[in-house]
Amino acid sequence: MSSQISSASELGVVATVRRGLQLSPAMVEGIRVTLLLAAVATIGRVVVPVTVQQATDNGILAAGGPDVAHVVLLCLIGFAVLLVTGRVSALVNVRLYRTSEKGLAQLRVRTFRHVHDLSTLTQSTEKRGSLVSRVTSDVDTVSMFVQRGGLMLVLNAGQLMLASLAMLVYSWQLALLVWACFLPMIFLAPRAQRVVSVAYAGVRVRVGAMLSAISESVVGAETIRAFGASERTQRRIDTAVREHREAAVRAQTYVALAFSTGVVLSAVALAAVVVLGTYLGVRGDISIGALLAFLFLVQMFTGPVQNATEMLNELQNAVAGWRRVIAVLETPVDVTEPDEPVDLSRAGHRGRGGADAPTGATAADGVDAGRVVAAPSDGTHRAARVTFEGVRYAYPGGPEVLHGVDLTIEPGTQVAVVGETGSGKTTLAKLLARLMDPTGGRVLLDGVDLRDLRLRELRSRVVLVPQEGFLFDGTIGSNIAYGPTARSAEQVREAVTSLGLDGWTDTLPAGLDTPVGQRGESLSAGERQLVALARAYLADADLLILDEATSAVDPATETRINRALDRLTHGRTSVTIAHRLSTAEAADLVVVVDDGDVVETGGHHELVGSDGTYAHMYRSWVAQTR
Ligand SMILES: Nc1ncnc2c1ncn2[C@@H]1O[C@H](COP(=O)(O)OP(=O)(O)OP(=O)(O)O)[C@@H](O)[C@H]1O
């Protein structure tokens, strides 16, 4: 099972670009036409040297004296060609921008979706800011290259070839001279490319680390202030910013060195052409017009070579970004859809009124039979049966934390899971909600392995209410309504009333329209729990997994929470990770977890009487609280 997103894929430059383009095919849509237009634009540029040569040799220096009309005609033709070239270049630009934006949007959406598909386990091991940077700034580096570097690459490659060809036509000796000047580049370029590549990979990692440090300090601002850790946090951010700056400066320095090498070689080539060209001219091997044209062609040739360093810069940055994005996309989703899903709904289990629910069927009935399973019918229609069969679990790279849990929970049972901190209660709950899969054994819902259920169906049947449910910036009503489908104001009000929360919402200034603030900060911890419970009520699950909140709330809110919980769990199976033994006291079944094993199960009174782990826990709790 995969767990961690590697920092970057190991692909080479060409393979990275190829894979990157495969992942966002819109980026190369219509590329043939764009390349054709780019070729036209490049050919148009040769018109300047050719016009200069023609105007000089056959106009100004014409055998019979200067031919002004010929010069004017050539200028007009040249002007017209340049106009067309300009228009075509603009068109190439527009096309590249359009396709690259489309392709990048595709890449962003794809990466974002994949991040969401990765299990919470994977997400928690990856620093959030770093993940955000992969979807945003890493994709942006790709964008800069595709829009600017990519355009330059296309145009410059064409220009380089054309200039080389034209130089050969005018003077093969001078053409050889120019190429000889740039020979060292051919040997130096791959080495420079490697050095710059490593430097830019470092920059991308630093960007992720910097965003991670900043986002963590923004999210955890309250804790930082409460513990007086502002200075320490600031130092951490300062370090991240400094390391990013140093990495960026290092990478840019390499690029600047490469760029200045290109400039020096261009100057040397131009000077060499002037000297050898004059010598050839004096010998009559080249006309003045051709020499002038050649000097223009040298500029046309050296321009792309110099630009190559800039392209190298952007290409490396983009490849580093692409690699990090690809690494996200190549991280396998560990909680996957089943190949052959078992269809519980076809057996009529979702008929909540009970009319279409099968009667007399048991969970075991349907495990085979054409992968259609009949749900248990015990008269409640809402409750699910849960079975843990030899469930083992080890977090990636860590020791086993559940060592073969066997447990059956009958439909409609209110279960309290108790145990010391770190004993494995939350792990058990996460496996039951299929936020991750067991490393051994299986978890069954109405006799069906959770891995055989469609995720959509599983999520609609099993709902986990975490200790601190996330509230979105909006109103109480909109947060209650949060779910896979749109819920009407009527449904929200019905949920509130059914859970007996209307007494609370009616006292609020704007009722259900009261804003909750960022992450629900305008509400008290207890009120946030009430919203979470109403949300869970609308989710209408068959199995509720509740991670009991540990935060203390005022007695009135506690009464409301308990009443809402009673109503919410009524007629359903519920599994509560109980932090208060009063919850266990009220449960039908108490499950005691100790160091990854279920050591006791039974009713509260039964377990208290048996003098085991639970009895000890209970006695020490009573001594402390009563
Ligand atoms: N994401 C994780 N990666 C690695 N180990 C983990 C992870 N989450 C929990 N563990 C380890 O698994 C063991 C069981 O943890 P778990 O959270 O299930 O215990 P718990 O009984 O719910 O504790 P608590 O009452 O404190 O919430 C612990 O040793 C814990 O350190």
The answer, yes or no, to whether any atom of ligand 1 lies below 6 A from the CB of 124, is yes
The answer, yes or no, to whether any atom of ligand 1 lies below 6 A from the CB of 461, is no
The residue-averaged pLDDT of 245-261 equals 87
pLDDT value at 529 more than 50: yes
- CATH number attached to the domain at 13-329: 1.20.1560.10
The answer, yes or no, to whether any atom of ligand 1 lies below 6 A from the CB of 467, is no
Q: Label residues 460-483 b or e (16+ Cβ within 10 Å = b).
A: bbbbbbebebebeeebbbbbbbbb
| Whole-angstrom distance, CA of residue 197 vs CA of residue 242 | 20
Cα of 428 from ligand 1 centre, angstroms: 10
- Select from 1, 120, 126, 427 the residue to mutate for testing ligand 1; criterion: most ligand atoms less than 8 Å from CB: 427
ipTM of the complex: 0.97
| AA identity, residue 232 | R
pLDDT per position as a tens digit, 226-248: 777 888 888 888 999 999 999 99
Residue 593 Cα: closest atom of ligand 1: 21
pLDDT of residue 592: 94
pLDDT value at 443 more than 90: yes
The answer, yes or no, to whether any atom of ligand 1 lies below 6 A from the CB of 120, is no
Each domain of the chain, given as residue ranges in start order, spans 13-329, 386-396+404-625
Residue 423 Cα: closest atom of ligand 1: 21
pLDDT of residue 73: 92
Q: How confident is the model at residue 352 (pLDDT cuts 50, 70, 90)?
A: very low
Cα of 1 from ligand 1 centre, angstroms: 18
- Give 16's contacts (C-beta < 8 A, 6+ positions apart): 9, 319, 322, 323, 326
CB–CB of 81/47 below 8 Å? Answer: yes
The answer, yes or no, to whether any atom of ligand 1 lies below 6 A from the CB of 423, is yes
Quote the tokens at residue 131.
């993940």
Q: How confident is the model at residue 360 (pLDDT cuts 50, 70, 90)?
A: very low
Cα of 183 from ligand 1 centre, angstroms: 61
Quote the tokens at residue 371.
């992968």
| Whole-angstrom distance, CA of residue 579 vs CA of residue 592 | 12
pLDDT of residue 400: 94
88 vs 341, residue with greater confidence: 88
Cα of 400 from ligand 1 centre, angstroms: 11
Cα of 292 from ligand 1 centre, angstroms: 77
Cα of 84 from ligand 1 centre, angstroms: 68
Q: How confident is the model at residue 580 (pLDDT cuts 50, 70, 90)?
A: confident
The answer, yes or no, to whether any atom of ligand 1 lies below 6 A from the CB of 424, is yes
The residue-averaged pLDDT of 362-368 equals 36
| Whole-angstrom distance, CA of residue 373 vs CA of residue 349 | 9
pLDDT value at 362 more than 50: no
* Residue 449, helix vs strand vs coil: strand
Tell me: domain 386-396+404-625, CATH 3.40.50.300, correct?
A: yes
pLDDT per position as a tens digit, 297-334: 998 888 887 777 677 777 877 888 888 888 888 888 87
- Give 111's contacts (C-beta < 8 A, 6+ positions apart): 134, 135, 139, 325, 328, 329
**Whose CA is closest to atom 16 on ligand 1?**
424
pLDDT value at 293 more than 70: yes
The answer, yes or no, to whether any atom of ligand 1 lies below 6 A from the CB of 208, is no
pLDDT per position as a tens digit, 136-176: 778 877 877 776 676 677 778 888 888 999 999 999 999 99
Cα of 172 from ligand 1 centre, angstroms: 75
Cα of 427 from ligand 1 centre, angstroms: 6
Q: Phi and psi of 553, rounded to 5°? A: -130, 165
pLDDT of residue 486: 76
Q: 369-383, 556-570, 573-587: which range is least confident on average?
A: 369-383
pLDDT of residue 193: 76
Residue 121 Cα: closest atom of ligand 1: 1
The answer, yes or no, to whether any atom of ligand 1 lies below 6 A from the CB of 551, is no
Q: Tell me the CA distances in angstroms from 37 to 49, 383, 522, one per residue in order.
A: 21, 66, 58
Residue 596 Cα: closest atom of ligand 1: 14
**Whose CA is closest to atom 24 on ligand 1?**
421
The answer, yes or no, to whether any atom of ligand 1 lies below 6 A from the CB of 182, is no
| Whole-angstrom distance, CA of residue 120 vs CA of residue 139 | 23
* Residue 334, helix vs strand vs coil: coil
pLDDT value at 597 more than 70: yes
pLDDT above 90: percentage of residues in the chain:
23
Greatest mean pLDDT among 184-198, 409-423, 548-562: 409-423
Cα of 436 from ligand 1 centre, angstroms: 13
**Whose CA is closest to atom 30 on ligand 1?**
422
The answer, yes or no, to whether any atom of ligand 1 lies below 6 A from the CB of 2, is no
How confident is the prediction for the chain on average, in pLDDT?
82
Cα of 425 from ligand 1 centre, angstroms: 8
The answer, yes or no, to whether any atom of ligand 1 lies below 6 A from the CB of 398, is yes
The answer, yes or no, to whether any atom of ligand 1 lies below 6 A from the CB of 426, is yes
pLDDT above 70: percentage of residues in the chain:
88
CB–CB of 542/463 below 8 Å? Answer: no
The answer, yes or no, to whether any atom of ligand 1 lies below 6 A from the CB of 583, is no
Q: Label residues 522-548 b or e (16+ Cβ within 10 Å = b).
A: ebeebbbbbbbbbbbbbbebbbbbbbb
The answer, yes or no, to whether any atom of ligand 1 lies below 6 A from the CB of 206, is no
pLDDT per position as a tens digit, 465-490: 887 778 888 888 888 888 777 788 88
CB–CB of 376/361 below 8 Å? Answer: yes
The answer, yes or no, to whether any atom of ligand 1 lies below 6 A from the CB of 399, is no
The answer, yes or no, to whether any atom of ligand 1 lies below 6 A from the CB of 317, is no
Q: What is the CA radius of gyration of the chain?
A: 35
Residue 395 Cα: closest atom of ligand 1: 4
Q: How confident is the model at residue 127 (pLDDT cuts 50, 70, 90)?
A: low
The answer, yes or no, to whether any atom of ligand 1 lies below 6 A from the CB of 119, is no
Strand order in 589-594's β-sheet? 462-465, 543-547, 573-577, 414-419, 589-594, 597-602
Element (H, E) at 393: strand 386-394
pLDDT of residue 409: 93
Picking from 150, 124, 117, the residue whose alpha carbon sits closest to that of residue 24 is 150
The residue-averaged pLDDT of 182-189 equals 80
Q: Label residues 93-107 b or e (16+ Cβ within 10 Å = b).
A: bebbeebbeebbeeb
**Whose CA is closest to atom 28 on ligand 1?**
422
| Whole-angstrom distance, CA of residue 174 vs CA of residue 626 | 100
Q: Tell me the CA distances in angstroms from 472 to 493, 519, 555, 615, one per residue in order.
A: 19, 5, 26, 41
The answer, yes or no, to whether any atom of ligand 1 lies below 6 A from the CB of 476, is no
pLDDT of residue 437: 92
Quote the tokens at residue 366.
């349907």
- Select from 124, 395, 403, 417 the residue to mutate for testing ligand 1; criterion: most ligand atoms less than 8 Å from CB: 395
The answer, yes or no, to whether any atom of ligand 1 lies below 6 A from the CB of 4, is no
- Give 196's contacts (C-beta < 8 A, 6+ positions apart): 251, 254, 255, 258, 312, 313, 316
The answer, yes or no, to whether any atom of ligand 1 lies below 6 A from the CB of 460, is no
Give the ranges where 7-149 is alpha helix by DSSP (H): 13-23, 31-45, 47-55, 68-117, 120-125, 128-135, 137-144
pLDDT value at 404 more than 80: yes
pTM of the model: 0.67
**Whose CA is closest to atom 18 on ligand 1?**
424
Q: Tell me the CA distances in angstroms from 16 to 12, 100, 138, 297, 318, one per residue in order.
A: 6, 17, 14, 34, 10
| Residue 373: Cβ within 10 Å count | 27
**Whose CA is closest to atom 5 on ligand 1?**
395
pLDDT of residue 213: 85
Residue keyed to tokens 């909109």: 478
The answer, yes or no, to whether any atom of ligand 1 lies below 6 A from the CB of 427, is yes
Cα of 65 from ligand 1 centre, angstroms: 95
Cα of 424 from ligand 1 centre, angstroms: 6
pLDDT value at 224 more than 70: yes
Cα of 426 from ligand 1 centre, angstroms: 7
- Give 349's contacts (C-beta < 8 A, 6+ positions apart): 357, 358, 373, 374, 375, 381, 446
